[in-house]
Structure 1
Amino acid sequence: MKLTLQTQLLPTSEQAALLEATMRAFNEAANWLAGEAFARKTANKILLQKLCYAQLRERFGLSAQMAVRCIAQVCEAYKRDRSKRPQFRPLAAVPYDQRLMSFKGIDRVSLLTLSGRILVPMVMGKYQQERFTAARGQCDLVLRKDGKWFLLVTVDLPDGTKPPTTDFIGVDLGVANIATDSDGQHYSGDAVEAVRSRQYTLRASLQRAASAKKRRGMRPKNIRRKLKRLSGKERRFRANENHRIAKSLVAKAKGTGRGLALEELKGIRNRTRFRKAQRAKMGGWALAQLRAFVEYKARLAGVEVVYINPAYTSQTCAVCGHVSKANRPSQTEFRCVACGHADHADVNAASNIRCLARASVNTPKVSEPH
């Protein structure tokens, strides 16, 4: 399977200036070429290369291979949506293939710029180092809003071997805890909740200040910049937490010889009633990203993942099977009105998800009569 590894570049100030100039020239060229492609209604690389290759080199200073890559980039973008002309931001990521770059071990990379090749130091963690030898094909050169440079490296890794699975860890998604498993373990907690609440409060305060400035006829540029920085921090925080949770779930499943049973995400926000503050937190958490992280980590580890319709799992007793809204006296408490079974509501729901997953794979096959 293909994964993307993020490696940080440590260019000197002179190298950073060269990389930025190259990035701006590439995207300026891409925008011009996108106009030509849209005007001719064509995404044919051979035709565009014949018509525009010389101008890409002369007008924008692109090297031969960079001009070819620019044509391919524009054609790919136009094919995705032919209804409008593709647009490229001045500092949008630039694709580098093996003709434009080469790795020198695990700590340096040679990158082509408008002024020739430069050798840039790079750093990566243990996780990236263990998988770096599987690097294949294209990388993306990225300049983050905080001024840091990264290469997004595509690697091709083999799937793990999946043993036959008869038991699962059920996983329930929630608000106070992002995830809870059927073993009773909660993923998230007070620290995560504190960060989420602080970011939510700060964002709301900044948005109110921006609205007040607009009413007075002022332009809230500084506030918009702060909101963008805050948004970037939130995305990185969510991704880090989702990686941590996914890693823990997959490690537990693999270590105990079980699969993972996740609830289907479709309609999750409609199925569950939240207070206004809870809706803001739930809507702000990247549940689809968490699922994607679990999927690829499980695939590499050889852990089976199944998806369960969670309808009524929050109201069903995991012991006797009685279904009733009255079984949920509060958001976190489950107490069965039929048999008296009591548990944390999320743990009870996760246990039901586990039972449904086990039933789905252990249902005996009945042969038809001859």
Structure 2
Amino acid sequence: MKLVVQVKLMPDARRAPAFERTLPAVNDAANWVSSVGFEHFRLKGAVRELRKMCYGELKARGFGAQTAQHIIKRVADAYTTLRASIKAGNLGTEGSKRRIKAESKPIVFRPDAAHTFDDRCLSWNSTRGPSVSGPSTAGSRTSASPARRMRSSDSPRTARVSPTCYVGTASGS
């Protein structure tokens, strides 16, 4: 069974700037990982190699462990998708302008692009609601987290925070 909960975050005036800084910071970090991966591996960067090269720097930038892992995985997945599109011929034949453009530069993430978070990146408090833990926000998980209570070792756990501040969590039991 999968339980999906969508929550609209409505931060007060004091917390709103922190939420507004979170997505651009995450996407800026993803752009950095993408450029490092492209510089060293071109389009062939894998999660393991990117982790070895980028994890420490992401932690030094203030990202939590799980958020850093999500950033690295997101970049590796984007390159996997690009390689598959090239192989399938979706970007034209070898030598076409579109394919050359895609192969010649690192993948870039928009500052307001949604990013995947899970219950290990979120803090739940029954009186103030959820908050996102990232480089611009501080949060500690509590044992009262609904998503953490429902977590099983093999269940999918995801949340997406978009510029409109919606969070959806998915947990299975």
TM range (shorter): 0.5 to 0.7
Specify which of 79, 101, 105 is matched with residue 122 of structure 2: 101
* Distance in 2 separating the partners of 1:156 and 1:53: 28
Q: Which has the higher helix share?
A: 1
Written as runs of structure 1 = structure 2, the 5 A alignment for 1:110-129 is 110-114=131-135, 115-117=137-139
Secondary structure, aligned partner of 1:95: strand
TM-score of the two chains, using structure 2 as the length reference: 0.65
Task: Check whether the contact 2:62–2:134 (CA below 8 A) recurs between aligned residues.
Answer: no
Aligned to 1:15: 15
Aligned to 1:50: 52
Aligned to 2:168: 152
* Distance in 2 separating the partners of 1:18 and 1:32: 21
State the percentage of identical aligned residues.
Answer: 28
* Distance in 1 separating the partners of 2:166 and 2:127: 14
Task: Check whether the contact 1:142–1:152 (CA below 8 A) recurs between aligned residues.
Answer: no
* Distance in 2 separating the partners of 1:65 and 1:7: 20
Written as runs of structure 1 = structure 2, the 5 A alignment for 1:34-73 is 34-39=34-39, 40=41, 41-58=43-60, 60-73=61-74
Task: Check whether the contact 1:139–1:152 (CA below 8 A) recurs between aligned residues.
Answer: yes
* Distance in 1 separating the partners of 2:81 and 2:4: 21
Amino acid at match of 1:22: T
TM-score of the two chains, using structure 1 as the length reference: 0.33
The CA deviation at 1:7 is 1.8
* Distance in 2 separating the partners of 1:6 and 1:107: 16
* Distance in 2 separating the partners of 1:75 and 1:3: 27
How big is each residue's C-alpha offset from its partner over 1:105-151, in whole Å with a ceiling of 9 and x where there is no partner? 597224213242179xxxxxxxxxxxxx799511111113xxxx210
Greater relative contact order (Cα 8 A, min sep 6): structure 1 or 2? 2
Secondary structure, aligned partner of 2:24: helix
Written as runs of structure 1 = structure 2, the 5 A alignment for 1:1-370 is 5-39=5-39, 40=41, 41-58=43-60, 60-82=61-83, 83=86, 84=102, 85-104=106-125, 108-114=129-135, 115-117=137-139, 137-144=157-164, 149-154=165-170, 156=172
Secondary structure, aligned partner of 1:61: coil
How big is each residue's C-alpha offset from its partner over 1:150-181, in whole Å with a ceiling of 9 and x where there is no partner? 10223559xxxxxxxxxxxxxxxxxxxxxxxx
* Distance in 1 separating the partners of 2:156 and 2:14: 29
Runs of 5+ consecutive residues of structure 2 not aligned to the other structure = 87-101, 142-149
* Distance in 1 separating the partners of 2:57 and 2:7: 33
Secondary structure, aligned partner of 2:11: coil
* Distance in 1 separating the partners of 2:120 and 2:22: 16
Which of the two has higher C-alpha Rg? 1
Secondary structure, aligned partner of 1:18: helix
Q: How many residues align?
A: 139
Task: Label 1:3 to 1:92 Cα distance change in 2 as closer, same or farther (>3 A).
Answer: farther
* Distance in 1 separating the partners of 2:140 and 2:111: 21
The CA deviation at 1:57 is 3.1
Amino acid at match of 1:72: K
Aligned to 1:239: none
Please tell me the root mean square deviation across aligned C-alpha atoms, in Å.
3.0
